[in-house]
Amino acid sequence: MNSSTSHAAEKEFIAKQSETHTVVFESILKRQIPLEDVALSNKNKHPLKRLFDIVAAVTALVIAGPVMLLTAVLIKLTSPGPILFKQQRVGFMGRIFTMYKFRTMEAETKSGVHRDYVIELVENGHPMVKIDNRQRLIPFGKIIRRLFIDELPQLFNVIRGEMSLVGPRPAIPYEVQAYHDWHMKRLLAIPGMTGLWQVSGKNRLTFDEMVRLDIRYAQEYSFRMDLRIMLMTPLAIISEVQNKQNH
Protein backbone atom coordinates (compact mmCIF):
# COMPACT_ATOMS: atom_id res chain seq x y z
CA MET A 1 0.00 0.00 0.00
CA ASN A 2 1.52 3.40 -1.02
CA SER A 3 1.65 6.39 1.31
CA SER A 4 -1.23 8.29 -0.37
CA THR A 5 -3.55 5.28 -0.11
CA SER A 6 -2.54 4.76 3.52
CA HIS A 7 -3.16 8.45 4.27
CA ALA A 8 -6.61 8.30 2.64
CA ALA A 9 -7.54 5.18 4.63
CA GLU A 10 -6.42 6.89 7.85
CA LYS A 11 -8.52 9.99 7.07
CA GLU A 12 -11.56 7.80 6.36
CA PHE A 13 -11.09 5.97 9.69
CA ILE A 14 -10.80 9.27 11.62
CA ALA A 15 -13.93 10.60 9.86
CA LYS A 16 -15.91 7.49 10.84
CA GLN A 17 -14.72 7.82 14.45
CA SER A 18 -15.78 11.47 14.56
CA GLU A 19 -19.20 10.57 13.14
CA THR A 20 -19.66 7.88 15.79
CA HIS A 21 -18.67 10.33 18.55
CA THR A 22 -21.15 12.90 17.22
CA VAL A 23 -24.06 10.47 16.97
CA VAL A 24 -23.58 9.12 20.49
CA PHE A 25 -23.08 12.52 22.11
CA GLU A 26 -26.12 13.91 20.31
CA SER A 27 -28.12 10.97 21.67
CA ILE A 28 -26.92 11.80 25.18
CA LEU A 29 -27.51 15.55 24.92
CA LYS A 30 -31.09 14.99 23.79
CA ARG A 31 -31.89 13.03 26.96
CA GLN A 32 -32.92 14.94 30.05
CA ILE A 33 -30.84 13.44 32.87
CA PRO A 34 -31.49 15.24 36.19
CA LEU A 35 -28.51 17.19 37.54
CA GLU A 36 -28.61 15.25 40.81
CA ASP A 37 -28.07 12.06 38.80
CA VAL A 38 -25.15 13.59 36.92
CA ALA A 39 -23.64 14.51 40.29
CA LEU A 40 -23.62 10.80 41.16
CA SER A 41 -20.98 10.30 38.47
CA ASN A 42 -18.39 11.92 40.77
CA LYS A 43 -18.82 9.06 43.27
CA ASN A 44 -17.57 6.64 40.62
CA LYS A 45 -14.33 8.61 40.16
CA HIS A 46 -13.16 8.12 43.74
CA PRO A 47 -9.32 8.19 43.97
CA LEU A 48 -9.26 4.95 45.97
CA LYS A 49 -11.18 3.16 43.21
CA ARG A 50 -8.70 4.38 40.60
CA LEU A 51 -5.67 3.45 42.70
CA PHE A 52 -7.05 -0.03 43.35
CA ASP A 53 -7.82 -0.48 39.63
CA ILE A 54 -4.25 0.32 38.62
CA VAL A 55 -2.56 -1.85 41.26
CA ALA A 56 -4.92 -4.80 40.75
CA ALA A 57 -4.83 -4.60 36.93
CA VAL A 58 -1.02 -4.52 36.82
CA THR A 59 -0.86 -7.44 39.26
CA ALA A 60 -3.40 -9.39 37.21
CA LEU A 61 -1.41 -8.77 34.01
CA VAL A 62 1.73 -10.15 35.64
CA ILE A 63 -0.10 -13.26 36.90
CA ALA A 64 -2.08 -13.82 33.70
CA GLY A 65 0.82 -12.92 31.39
CA PRO A 66 1.75 -16.52 30.45
CA VAL A 67 -1.89 -17.40 29.70
CA MET A 68 -2.29 -14.28 27.58
CA LEU A 69 0.93 -15.01 25.67
CA LEU A 70 -0.17 -18.60 24.98
CA THR A 71 -3.59 -17.37 23.85
CA ALA A 72 -2.01 -14.84 21.48
CA VAL A 73 0.21 -17.53 19.94
CA LEU A 74 -2.74 -19.92 19.49
CA ILE A 75 -4.82 -17.26 17.74
CA LYS A 76 -1.93 -16.27 15.48
CA LEU A 77 -1.16 -19.88 14.51
CA THR A 78 -4.71 -21.09 13.94
CA SER A 79 -6.54 -18.14 12.39
CA PRO A 80 -5.61 -15.45 9.85
CA GLY A 81 -6.18 -11.95 11.12
CA PRO A 82 -5.31 -9.83 14.16
CA ILE A 83 -4.81 -11.28 17.63
CA LEU A 84 -6.94 -8.63 19.30
CA PHE A 85 -10.52 -7.69 18.56
CA LYS A 86 -10.92 -3.92 18.88
CA GLN A 87 -14.36 -2.36 19.16
CA GLN A 88 -15.65 1.12 19.83
CA ARG A 89 -17.55 1.26 23.13
CA VAL A 90 -19.38 3.98 25.05
CA GLY A 91 -17.81 4.70 28.40
CA PHE A 92 -18.21 7.07 31.33
CA MET A 93 -20.56 9.98 30.52
CA GLY A 94 -20.76 8.85 26.88
CA ARG A 95 -17.06 9.00 26.03
CA ILE A 96 -16.06 6.70 23.17
CA PHE A 97 -13.07 4.41 23.66
CA THR A 98 -11.57 1.35 22.00
CA MET A 99 -12.10 -1.84 24.00
CA TYR A 100 -9.75 -4.79 23.60
CA LYS A 101 -10.54 -8.50 23.62
CA PHE A 102 -8.78 -11.57 22.28
CA ARG A 103 -10.31 -12.34 18.89
CA THR A 104 -12.39 -15.53 19.04
CA MET A 105 -14.26 -15.21 15.73
CA GLU A 106 -13.24 -15.14 12.09
CA ALA A 107 -11.67 -11.81 11.15
CA GLU A 108 -14.24 -10.96 8.47
CA THR A 109 -17.31 -11.49 10.67
CA LYS A 110 -19.83 -8.70 10.04
CA SER A 111 -21.68 -6.90 12.83
CA GLY A 112 -25.08 -6.40 11.14
CA VAL A 113 -26.74 -9.45 12.67
CA HIS A 114 -25.39 -8.60 16.12
CA ARG A 115 -26.58 -4.99 15.77
CA ASP A 116 -30.14 -6.12 15.01
CA TYR A 117 -30.06 -8.61 17.87
CA VAL A 118 -28.85 -6.04 20.43
CA ILE A 119 -31.44 -3.46 19.38
CA GLU A 120 -34.15 -6.12 19.73
CA LEU A 121 -32.91 -6.89 23.27
CA VAL A 122 -33.15 -3.21 24.18
CA GLU A 123 -36.63 -2.79 22.74
CA ASN A 124 -38.33 -6.11 23.55
CA GLY A 125 -36.96 -7.12 26.95
CA HIS A 126 -35.82 -10.66 26.19
CA PRO A 127 -33.22 -12.35 28.44
CA MET A 128 -29.70 -11.28 27.42
CA VAL A 129 -28.57 -14.60 25.97
CA LYS A 130 -25.59 -14.27 23.64
CA ILE A 131 -26.32 -14.72 19.95
CA ASP A 132 -25.38 -18.17 18.60
CA ASN A 133 -22.34 -17.66 16.37
CA ARG A 134 -20.51 -20.94 16.91
CA GLN A 135 -20.06 -21.44 13.16
CA ARG A 136 -17.73 -18.43 13.02
CA LEU A 137 -15.61 -19.25 16.06
CA ILE A 138 -11.92 -19.82 15.42
CA PRO A 139 -10.12 -22.96 16.72
CA PHE A 140 -9.91 -22.78 20.52
CA GLY A 141 -12.33 -19.82 20.39
CA LYS A 142 -14.97 -21.67 22.38
CA ILE A 143 -12.52 -22.52 25.17
CA ILE A 144 -11.12 -18.98 25.24
CA ARG A 145 -14.64 -17.62 25.66
CA ARG A 146 -15.83 -20.25 28.10
CA LEU A 147 -12.94 -19.50 30.48
CA PHE A 148 -13.33 -15.73 29.93
CA ILE A 149 -9.74 -15.49 28.74
CA ASP A 150 -10.91 -13.27 25.87
CA GLU A 151 -11.69 -10.55 28.41
CA LEU A 152 -8.16 -10.29 29.83
CA PRO A 153 -6.90 -7.59 27.38
CA GLN A 154 -9.46 -5.26 28.97
CA LEU A 155 -6.97 -4.96 31.82
CA PHE A 156 -5.15 -2.52 29.53
CA ASN A 157 -8.38 -0.49 29.26
CA VAL A 158 -8.46 -0.44 33.07
CA ILE A 159 -4.88 0.85 33.30
CA ARG A 160 -5.68 3.53 30.71
CA GLY A 161 -8.62 4.69 32.84
CA GLU A 162 -11.25 3.88 30.19
CA MET A 163 -12.68 1.05 32.27
CA SER A 164 -12.67 -0.08 35.87
CA LEU A 165 -12.43 -3.57 37.31
CA VAL A 166 -16.02 -3.15 38.50
CA GLY A 167 -18.79 -1.29 36.71
CA PRO A 168 -21.56 -1.64 34.10
CA ARG A 169 -20.96 -3.59 30.91
CA PRO A 170 -19.53 -1.13 28.33
CA ALA A 171 -22.18 -0.31 25.73
CA ILE A 172 -21.85 -0.39 21.94
CA PRO A 173 -22.61 2.91 20.13
CA TYR A 174 -25.52 1.49 18.10
CA GLU A 175 -26.93 0.06 21.33
CA VAL A 176 -26.88 3.50 22.99
CA GLN A 177 -28.75 5.03 20.06
CA ALA A 178 -31.64 2.63 20.84
CA TYR A 179 -31.74 3.51 24.56
CA HIS A 180 -34.79 4.97 26.24
CA ASP A 181 -34.14 8.10 28.27
CA TRP A 182 -33.84 6.31 31.60
CA HIS A 183 -31.36 3.79 30.14
CA MET A 184 -28.85 6.64 29.74
CA LYS A 185 -28.29 6.75 33.50
CA ARG A 186 -26.14 3.60 33.26
CA LEU A 187 -23.51 5.80 31.60
CA LEU A 188 -23.06 7.67 34.90
CA ALA A 189 -20.68 4.95 36.11
CA ILE A 190 -17.31 3.94 34.67
CA PRO A 191 -17.78 0.66 32.72
CA GLY A 192 -16.16 -2.42 34.18
CA MET A 193 -14.88 -5.93 33.50
CA THR A 194 -17.31 -7.30 36.07
CA GLY A 195 -20.28 -5.75 37.79
CA LEU A 196 -23.53 -6.11 39.67
CA TRP A 197 -25.25 -7.54 36.58
CA GLN A 198 -22.61 -10.25 36.08
CA VAL A 199 -22.96 -11.53 39.65
CA SER A 200 -26.77 -11.21 39.80
CA GLY A 201 -27.89 -13.56 37.07
CA LYS A 202 -26.35 -12.09 33.90
CA ASN A 203 -27.84 -13.87 30.86
CA ARG A 204 -30.99 -14.84 32.80
CA LEU A 205 -31.89 -11.16 33.15
CA THR A 206 -33.52 -8.85 30.63
CA PHE A 207 -31.88 -5.69 29.33
CA ASP A 208 -34.07 -3.49 31.55
CA GLU A 209 -33.17 -5.56 34.61
CA MET A 210 -29.49 -5.13 33.77
CA VAL A 211 -29.92 -1.36 33.46
CA ARG A 212 -31.70 -1.16 36.82
CA LEU A 213 -28.75 -2.96 38.43
CA ASP A 214 -26.31 -0.59 36.71
CA ILE A 215 -28.22 2.46 37.94
CA ARG A 216 -28.35 0.99 41.44
CA TYR A 217 -24.56 0.54 41.29
CA ALA A 218 -24.07 4.17 40.23
CA GLN A 219 -26.36 5.42 42.99
CA GLU A 220 -25.08 3.20 45.81
CA TYR A 221 -21.41 2.95 44.85
CA SER A 222 -18.88 2.37 47.59
CA PHE A 223 -15.45 0.77 47.66
CA ARG A 224 -16.93 -1.95 49.85
CA MET A 225 -19.49 -2.73 47.14
CA ASP A 226 -16.68 -3.09 44.59
CA LEU A 227 -14.85 -5.53 46.85
CA ARG A 228 -18.02 -7.55 47.41
CA ILE A 229 -18.69 -7.78 43.66
CA MET A 230 -15.09 -8.84 42.97
CA LEU A 231 -15.30 -11.56 45.62
CA MET A 232 -18.57 -12.81 44.09
CA THR A 233 -17.20 -12.82 40.52
CA PRO A 234 -15.18 -16.10 40.66
CA LEU A 235 -18.26 -18.00 41.88
CA ALA A 236 -20.36 -16.38 39.14
CA ILE A 237 -17.78 -17.45 36.52
CA ILE A 238 -17.67 -21.02 37.82
CA SER A 239 -21.48 -21.17 37.79
CA GLU A 240 -21.64 -19.88 34.23
CA VAL A 241 -18.97 -22.33 33.02
CA GLN A 242 -20.94 -25.21 34.58
CA ASN A 243 -24.16 -24.00 32.96
CA LYS A 244 -22.48 -23.87 29.54
CA GLN A 245 -21.16 -27.41 29.98
CA ASN A 246 -24.68 -28.63 30.75
CA HIS A 247 -26.08 -27.18 27.52
102-142: pLDDT as tens digits: 999 988 766 677 888 888 888 887 778 777 666 789 999 99
Q: Among 3-12, 107-116, 121-130, 183-192, whose mean pLDDT is lowest? A: 3-12
Contacts of 196 (CB under 8 A, 6+ apart): 213, 214, 216, 217, 229
Q: Please check whether residue 110 lies inside any domain of the structure.
A: yes
Q: Please check whether residue 15 lies inside any domain of the structure.
A: no
Dihedral sign, Cα of residue 238, residue 70, residue 151, residue 177:
negative
> With 70 as the cut, is the pLDDT of residue 146 above it?
yes
Q: Please check whether residue 23 lies inside any domain of the structure.
A: no
Instruction: Report the chain's mean pLDDT, rounded to a whole number.
Output: 83
Determine the pLDDT at residue 31: 56
> With 80 as the cut, is the pLDDT of residue 12 above it?
no
> Does 228 or 35 have the greater pLDDT score?
228
d(CA 238, CA 146): 10
Q: Please check whether residue 28 lies inside any domain of the structure.
A: no
Determine the pLDDT at residue 14: 40
> Does 33 or 228 have the greater pLDDT score?
228
Mean pLDDT of 72-98: 94
Q: Among 1-10, 101-110, 122-131, 151-160, whose mean pLDDT is lowest? A: 1-10
d(CA 226, CA 199): 12
Determine the pLDDT at residue 246: 62
Q: Please check whether residue 14 lies inside any domain of the structure.
A: no
Tell me the pTM.
0.82
The full 3-state SS of 178-195, as one line of letters, equals: CCCHHHHHHHHCCCEEEC
Give the type of residue at 97. Answer: F
d(CA 181, CA 32): 7
Structural domain for 94, as ranges: 40-245
- Helix, coil or strand: residue 98: strand
Count other C-beta atoms under 10 Å from residue 44's C-beta. Answer: 22
Determine the pLDDT at residue 38: 54
Q: Please check whether residue 9 lies inside any domain of the structure.
A: no
d(CA 208, CA 40): 20
Give the type of residue at 230. Answer: M
Q: How many CA atoms lie within 13 A of 133 on its CB side?
A: 18
Q: Please check whether residue 124 lies inside any domain of the structure.
A: yes
- Helix, coil or strand: residue 246: coil
d(CA 34, CA 111): 34
Q: Among 5-14, 103-112, 149-158, 220-229, whose mean pLDDT is lowest? A: 5-14
Q: Please check whether residue 92 lies inside any domain of the structure.
A: yes
Q: Please say whether the beta carbons of 237 and 198 come within 8 A.
A: no
> With 80 as the cut, is the pLDDT of residue 23 above it?
no
pLDDT-derived band of residue 17, with 50, 70 and 90 as boundaries?
A: very low
Q: Please say whether the beta carbons of 216 and 182 come within 8 A.
A: no
d(CA 90, CA 81): 25
Determine the pLDDT at residue 234: 92
Question: What domain count does the chain have?
Answer: 1
